[in-house]
Structure 1
Amino acid sequence: MDTIKQETLLGIDLSYAYTQISYQTEEMEQPEAFTEQEERALIPNLLFYGQESKKWYSGYEARQKRDEEQGSFFEDFDRKLKKEEKIMIEDTLYSYKQLFVKMLALHMKKLKISFQDARIAITSGNPDILFDELEDVKKWIKEKQCIIHRISHFTAFMAFVLHQEECSGTKGIGLLEYKKEGMAYHYLGRTPAGDMLQIQTIPLEERLELEQGESKDERFAKMLEKLFYQYKTPVVYLTGSEFDGDWMNETLKVVCRNRRAFMGQNLFTKGAFCFALEEGRKRNPKLLANGLCLYNIGTAITVNGQPRFAPVVEGGCDWYGQKGAVQFMLENEQKMEIIYQNLRTKEIEREVMVLHGMPKRPPMTTRVEVEAQYTSSKEGYLKIKDLGFGELFPTSHQIWVKKIVLKE
C-alpha cells in the first residue's frame, strides 16, 4: 500500500492585536504551538521597517528594533485596516491590509520550516480580518502552491471538538467565550433532524449586570446555573482573556458540577490546525452557525430521464472562497432553473432565469457552464456561460450574470 505523504499543516488564530500559530511538519510526530520570548504563544501584531538595516521585523522583534534605529512602526491594526490610505516605504506603496499580510508572513517565517505544498487554516473571531488579501501571504512566503483556508471561530471550534477524546459520543458541547468585547455561550449539537451539526450562540452580556451587593463571581455562578440547565452538556470549554485571574470561586463550582471543564487560550488555533488536517482528507462535516452559508445553490438536470438536483456551490460552511462550477446540457436553451436548498428548514426555492439572446438550437445541443460563488454568507452571484455544442453549434461567447441575495 502506498503511504500518504504528511502535509505541512498550520493553524493560525488572528485578532487585531495578536497571532497564535500551531504547526506540524512531516518530521514532527505531534503539532506544536509556536512561542517567542519567554515561551509566549501570543505574538503581538507589530510591524517595523528599519531605515538603516533596510529590513522588516514583526512581533516582539519589531518592538525591539524600533528602539534601536529609525524607521516605520505599525500597530493598532483594528483602526488602520479600515483606512483606504497607502503608505510609502522605500518607493513602494502599501495599503494597511498589505502591511498586515506582510506582518503575518514574517510571523510564519519565524517557524523556520518549508511551506512547500503546506495547508494553512486561518481563523478569526472577527470576520473583517479574514479579508481576501490574506491569500497574498503565499506571495510573501514565496510558496504559491500552498493552500489557504479562511474559517470562522465556529468552524475552528467544531474541528477542535471532533478531535477531542473527551467529546467522543457526547451529544452537546459548550464553549464559554469571555473577552473584553463581550461574552457568549456557544452550544455545539445536532439539528432537530439529527443530520447536521449546528452551533447555537447565546449572548450573555446583559445577564452579567450586577445587582446591588453582588460580586462578579456570584453573578457569574447564578447565570451559569440557569444556562447549563437549559443547555445541558457533560463537557464545557472556557476561553478568553477575561477568565484570567483568581476571581472564580463559586463560578468554578458550577462549571465543574457533573461535567468536565477545560480552560485555555489556544482552542481556536488548535481547531484551525485540526480543520487543515481534515480538509486535506475531505472529512470536515457540514455545520450550521451564525455567519455561515445556509444554502446549497444549484440547478436541475436530467440523468437517465430523471430530474436531479445538481449543486453548484454548497452551504454548511464558511463563505470565504466558496465557489463551484458545473457543465451540463440545457433542455430549454432559453431559460434555466435555479434551486436554493435551505439546509436548516430543508425547504426548496426555485427561480427561473431567462437567458436573453441565447441562440436557438435543437433540443439538447446547448452546453453551458454554471459558476456560483458566495461573496458573503447571504449574497453571491451566478454566472452562466454558453459553450455551444462542438463544431455543429459553436459557442456564442455570451455570459449571463445574476446577483443572489439569500434569506435568513
Structure 2
Amino acid sequence: MKGGKILGIELNDEYCQISYYDDEKHEPETLEVAIDNYQIPLMLGYLKEQWVYGKDAKRLSEVDEKYTVSNLYSKALQREKVVLGEKTYDAIWLLAKFMQMALELFGSIEYITFSVPHTDIDISKMLKGVGQFVGVSKERVQVQDFKESFCHYMFYQPKELWQYEAALFYCDRNEIRAYMLRKLKTVVGRGTDLFVTVDEVASAKMKELAAIYPVLNVDKAKDADERFKSFIQSVFDKKVVSSVFLTGEGFENNWYPNSLKVLCNGRRAFLGNNLYSKGACYASYRKGRDYEERPIYLDDSKMMEQVCLKMRVRGKECWYPIVEWGTHWYEADGQWEVLLEDTSDIEIHIESLASGELQAETVSLAGLPERKDYALRLQIKTMFLDEQTCKITFKDAGFGEFFPATDFQVEKMIHLGGSNGQFNSLS
C-alpha cells in the first residue's frame, strides 16, 4: 500500500495517471506502471466473474474484445450503456469501478483532484460521484482542467521559473498546442493577492508527426523540426519567457534538436508526461495541507466576484469570504456556524475583481431571539441557483441545551455579474 493519501489523477480517453503526495520528499510522486511509464490504460475487463483493469484488461482485449471496454471516460461523459460479456452496465459505474481498482493500494484517501481536458458542471458532478464511490466525500474531491493543473504545478516550482511567462507545449501524433502562464494586472486595492491565468496562444496541425511516431522517419523528422522551430519563434515573439515545459507522447522521440536550441536559449526547458497529474496532486495538497496564501487561478469559467461577511477569525477582525473569486459557481456552495455579538443586521460586501467596485447589502435580523453575546449561534448557508444568483440563508441554530433553535430564518439573494466578458478586461 502506498503511503500517499493526497492524490492527483489525470484522466483522458486513453489512459489514467496517478500522482500521490510523498510526505517524506515533500512533493508528488507518480505511480509507475512500468519503468518510466506512468500511463494506466483506461480499460476494464470482466471474465469468469473476475474484473481486471489497465494493462491486464488491455491484454485481455487482445484475446477477445467482447470481454473488455475502452474509452471509459468519453463513454461515461455520454452516459452510455455498455455491454460487457453478457451484461449491460452504466459507463459511469464502469469508470468508478476502474478507479476503485486502480486506487486499492492507497488505502484511506484524504483528497483527490481530477485533471481532465476540460470541465463543466456535469463533469464535476460525475467525477465527484466517482470520488464518493471510492470512499472520498464530495467536499474533498476537486475537478480542474489541464491548464489549471499546469498552473498549480508551477505554483510549487522555484519562482524564477515563472518570474515572467512560462510556456507549455503539448504534442500528440498530429498536433502541437502552446500555452502561456501569465500574471494578471488587476484593479488596485486587492492587497497582496496575485492572480494568474493560462492562455492557449497557438496550435498547429503537423502531418509529419504521424510519420515520425513511433518509428522515426529521418526526412519527416527534419521537416517537423523546422516547422516546430518556426512555431516556437512565432509563439515567443515579443514575449519574455522564463521556462518551457514539453509534455505529450509526441515529444518522446528526439526529432526536434534544432527546436530544442531555440527553446533553451536563455531559459530552462523540461520534458515529462506527468505534469498534469502532479499539478492535480499539488491542488489536493493545497486544499488539504497548505494554508499559505498562494496565487489565485482565473479563467473564463471562474467567478470574478467575492462575497464577504465581517467576522472575527482567530481573534482578528476581517472581511471573510464566504464565496471566493477564482471558484466555479457550481462548487461555491458552503455552510458555516457563527456566534453573534450584539447586532441587529449583517452587512454583506460583494467585490468585483474586474471593475474594482464594492457593493454593500444589508440583511435585517429582526425577529431573532434576544440572547447574551455569544449565545446566539447562526447558521449561514450559501447556495448557487445559477451562474449569477447566490442565495444566502441565515438561520437560528440555537445554543445546545441552553437555547433550542427557533424557526427564525431569513434569505438574501445576491445577483452577481457572471462572466459577461469581465475576465477579458484583465490583462
TM-score (norm 1): 0.74
Which residue pairs with 2:395 in the alignment?
Answer: 386
**Contact 1:368–1:385 (8 Å) recurs in 2:** yes
Letter of the 2:203 partner, please give it: E
Which residue pairs with 1:282 in the alignment?
Answer: 291
- How far apart are the structure 2 equivalents of 1:253 and 1:233? 14
**1:203 equivalent in alignment to 2:201:** yes
**Contact 1:383–1:402 (8 Å) recurs in 2:** yes
Letter of the 1:348 partner, please give it: L
Which residue pairs with 2:216 in the alignment?
Answer: none
Give the secondary-structure state (helix, strand or coil) at the position aligned to 1:204. strand
CA deviation profile, 1:292-330 (whole Å, cap 9, x unmatched): 333222345799xxx963421212356674443344659
Which residue pairs with 2:177 in the alignment?
Answer: 183
- How far apart are the structure 2 equivalents of 1:243 and 1:26? 31
Letter of the 1:18 partner, please give it: Y
**Contact 1:328–1:369 (8 Å) recurs in 2:** no
Structure 1 residue 18: Cα displacement: 1.2
**1:23 equivalent in alignment to 2:20:** yes
* Paired positions, count: 386
**Contact 2:40–2:54 (8 Å) recurs in 1:** yes
**Contact 1:151–1:318 (8 Å) recurs in 2:** no
Which residue pairs with 2:351 in the alignment?
Answer: 341
Letter of the 1:162 partner, please give it: F
Which residue pairs with 1:154 in the alignment?
Answer: 147
Q: How does 1:230-249 map to 2 (within 5 A)?
A: 230-249=238-257
**Contact 2:161–2:243 (8 Å) recurs in 1:** no
Letter of the 2:296 partner, please give it: L
Which residue pairs with 2:59 in the alignment?
Answer: 64
Which of 229, 239, 246 pairs up with 1:221?
229
CA gap 1:344/1:237 in 2 versus in 1, 3 angstroms:
farther
- How far apart are the structure 2 equivalents of 1:373 and 1:350? 19
**Contact 1:370–1:382 (8 Å) recurs in 2:** no
CA gap 1:220/1:384 in 2 versus in 1, 3 angstroms:
same
- How far apart are the structure 2 equivalents of 1:64 and 1:156? 31
Structure 1 residue 85: Cα displacement: 5.1
Q: Which runs of 5+ in 2 are unaligned?
A: 209-221, 420-427
Which residue pairs with 1:127 in the alignment?
Answer: 119
CA gap 1:43/1:155 in 2 versus in 1, 3 angstroms:
same
Q: Percent identity?
A: 20
Alignment root-mean-square deviation, CA: 4.4
Which of 293, 308, 321 pairs up with 1:298?
308
CA deviation profile, 1:193-229 (whole Å, cap 9, x unmatched): 673030241431379999xxx9554444334324323
- How far apart are the structure 1 equivalents of 2:85 and 2:162? 57
CA deviation profile, 1:124-158 (whole Å, cap 9, x unmatched): 23215852243344555456699433333334223
Structure 1 residue 27: Cα displacement: 7.6
- How far apart are the structure 2 equivalents of 1:286 and 1:319? 19
CA gap 1:100/1:404 in 2 versus in 1, 3 angstroms:
farther
TM-score (norm 2): 0.72
CA gap 1:292/1:148 in 2 versus in 1, 3 angstroms:
same
Which residue pairs with 2:167 in the alignment?
Answer: 174
Which residue pairs with 2:277 in the alignment?
Answer: 269
Structure 1 residue 46: Cα displacement: 0.9
Q: Per residue, is there more helix in 1 or in 2?
A: 2
Q: Which deviates more from structure 2 when the two are superposed, residues 89-98 or residues 173-182? A: 89-98
- How far apart are the structure 2 equivalents of 1:155 and 1:36? 25
- How far apart are the structure 1 equivalents of 2:254 and 2:65? 42
- How far apart are the structure 2 equivalents of 1:45 and 1:25? 24
- How far apart are the structure 2 equivalents of 1:123 and 1:255? 26
Structure 1 residue 254: Cα displacement: 2.0
- How far apart are the structure 1 equivalents of 2:124 and 2:241? 34
Give the secondary-structure state (helix, strand or coil) at the position aligned to 1:164. coil
Which residue pairs with 2:50 in the alignment?
Answer: 55
- How far apart are the structure 2 equivalents of 1:42 and 1:289? 29
**Contact 2:113–2:143 (8 Å) recurs in 1:** yes
User: Which protein, 1 or 2, shows the higher relative CO under an 8 Å CA cutoff with sep ≥ 6?
Assistant: 2
Give the secondary-structure state (helix, strand or coil) at the position aligned to 1:131. helix
Give the secondary-structure state (helix, strand or coil) at the position aligned to 2:260. helix
- How far apart are the structure 2 equivalents of 1:252 and 1:171? 20
- How far apart are the structure 1 equivalents of 2:90 and 2:4? 32
Letter of the 2:182 partner, please give it: L
Which residue pairs with 1:3 in the alignment?
Answer: none
**1:42 equivalent in alignment to 2:39:** yes
Give the secondary-structure state (helix, strand or coil) at the position aligned to 1:127. coil
Structure 1 residue 189: Cα displacement: 3.1
Structure 1 residue 239: Cα displacement: 1.9
**Contact 1:197–1:287 (8 Å) recurs in 2:** yes
Structure 1 residue 340: Cα displacement: 2.4
Letter of the 2:166 partner, please give it: I
**1:254 equivalent in alignment to 2:262:** yes
CA gap 1:302/1:206 in 2 versus in 1, 3 angstroms:
same
Structure 1 residue 35: Cα displacement: 2.5
**1:371 equivalent in alignment to 2:381:** yes
Which residue pairs with 2:326 in the alignment?
Answer: 316
Structure 1 residue 246: Cα displacement: 4.6
Structure 1 residue 260: Cα displacement: 1.3
Q: Which deviates more from structure 2 when the two are superposed, residues 231-240 or residues 336-345? A: 336-345
- How far apart are the structure 2 equivalents of 1:34 and 1:97? 24
